[in-house]
Copies of this chain bind each other. A is one copy, B any other.
Amino acid sequence: MQPDGPLRLDARDAGFDAAFDALVDARREADGDVSRDVARIVADVRDHGEAALADYTRKFDRHDPVAAGWEIPKAEREAALAGLDPELRAALELAAARIRAYHEKQRPADSDMTDDAGVRMGARWRGVDAAGLYVPGGRAAYPSSVLMNAIPAKVAGVARLAMVTPTPGGVVNPTVLAAAEIAGVDEVWRVGGAQAVAALAYGAGPIAPVDVVVGPGNAWVAEAKRQLYGVVGIDMVAGPSEIVVVADGANDPDWIAADLLSQAEHDPTSQSILFTDDADFADAVAAAVDRRLATLATAETARTSWTANGAIVLVAALDDALPLVDRLAPEHLELAVADPEPLFARVRHAGSVFLGRHTPEAVGDYVGGPNHVLPTGRRARFASGLSVLDFMKRTSFLALDPDALAAIGPAAVTLARAEGLPAHAASVAVRLGE
């Protein structure tokens, strides 16, 4: 192994299975023993509302929300949009339009059917009344994330979308405000951290409670969402970003190097992994990564990520990569080959797949259309990207007439009696004239 390069594995080596197991099992998420602190903050905001929220905001954000005003007024958000660089505004609006168009197709259909027994049944989808959107402050305040989180809520029909964002020292990112305006966010509050999540869940002072809380955040924010799951709905807890690239030797190594670095630059804990069947290509990509790192503005982060968590895995044939990819269940998967369909057909576990040589993952971060909020840390085995469904709920229904009840009711009576629930049985039997 090169001292300054990523892990290099060859699937044909004797020790490969153990080494790949270790790669799959490596945990890149901090355990962060914040749960007791977060529990105290959440209880304080639940029990003391506005006063607790103000105290924590003064302490953590060096900012007095009572003096400065809790809310960022609509006029300030409109001014941020009006003051935006025209090219940036056009890019945000293109992104918003494409995200909206994609998510509008996610709206689920209601069902209403009557079966042979005469039983009418179905389900009806409705948006939640109110949703909360957490937007981190500082470096991780991404306007693209505002669009990706807010637009599905609005497409779901959420009438009230409340954004919270810490404004340390009172400072707020105007591009984030402009994105909120484009996405149709209804309220923006100058609070952050676990206390802001608790305020969204329980309500605090001027902030009315919401039904669902989404959005990225640090360990405290993630733990607060986890603790409040059940009081409100939440999106999946997110970990460090990941990309897996499956590429043959016909790719330009420099393109693939750029793709690997696009995730590596997010955070030192991010992970970029290349699978290829061409040893010379593997070396060429590694060299291209090093060349790019020499001039990349985010090289410090990207280099740490690439050397600590990156990997290049040589396989005898690209087909052999797929079971390995499924075990990683990556957030992002690029299939950089001329005909990606046969490979794609075999993928079981991935958050989002980018097909062919001209679909860099980053295009999906911004303007592709599908959501960029995706399951990380192998959670694509069971979880999906953020969608309109995260802001909706389903009400099922049943309608029986006397004939339908006569057809299926007796079985319900039998089962209720077997379960020792006589009042259940009676509520059916009494209508059957028993």
Interface residues of A (CB under 8 A from B): 87-88, 90-92, 94-95, 98, 101-102, 105, 111, 113, 115, 119-121, 123, 126, 128-129, 139, 142-144, 175, 211-212, 226, 229-230, 232-233, 236-237, 252, 254-255, 258-259, 261-262, 264-266, 292, 296-298, 302, 340, 344, 347-371, 374-375, 377, 379-385, 387, 389, 393-402, 404-405, 408-412, 414-416, 418-428, 430-431
- A393 / chain B contacts, CB cutoff of 8 Å: 349, 375, 380-384
A384–B366 CA distance with the chains assembled, in angstroms: 30
- A351 / chain B contacts, CB cutoff of 8 Å: 395-396
Q: How far is the CB of A403 from chain B (nearest CB, A)?
A: 9
Q: How far is the CB of A91 from chain B (nearest CB, A)?
A: 4
Residue of B nearest to A233 (CB): B382
A302–B423 CA distance with the chains assembled, in angstroms: 9
User: Are A355's CB and B397's CB within 8 A?
Assistant: yes
Residue of B nearest to A238 (CB): B230
User: Which of the listed residues A230, A254, A351 has the most CB atoms from chain B within 10 Å of its own CB?
Assistant: A230
User: Are B232's CB and A398's CB within 8 A?
Assistant: no
User: Are A355's CB and B399's CB within 8 A?
Assistant: yes
Contact pick for A415, options B88, B357, B419, CB 8 Å: B88
User: Are A408's CB and B363's CB within 8 A?
Assistant: yes
User: Are B396's CB and A370's CB within 8 A?
Assistant: yes
User: Are B380's CB and A384's CB within 8 A?
Assistant: no
Number of copies: 2
User: Are B411's CB and A366's CB within 8 A?
Assistant: yes
User: Are B105's CB and A421's CB within 8 A?
Assistant: no
User: Are A427's CB and B368's CB within 8 A?
Assistant: no
- A367 / chain B contacts, CB cutoff of 8 Å: 408-409, 411-412, 415
Q: How far is the CB of A214 from chain B (nearest CB, A)?
A: 11
A111–B106 CA distance with the chains assembled, in angstroms: 9
Contact A143-B261, Cβ < 8 Å, known A358-B431, A398-B355, A412-B366: no
User: Are B431's CB and A360's CB within 8 A?
Assistant: yes
User: Are A296's CB and B369's CB within 8 A?
Assistant: no
User: Are A411's CB and B90's CB within 8 A?
Assistant: yes
Contact A226-B237, Cβ < 8 Å, known A262-B426, A427-B361: no
Residue of B nearest to A398 (CB): B368
User: Are B398's CB and A364's CB within 8 A?
Assistant: yes
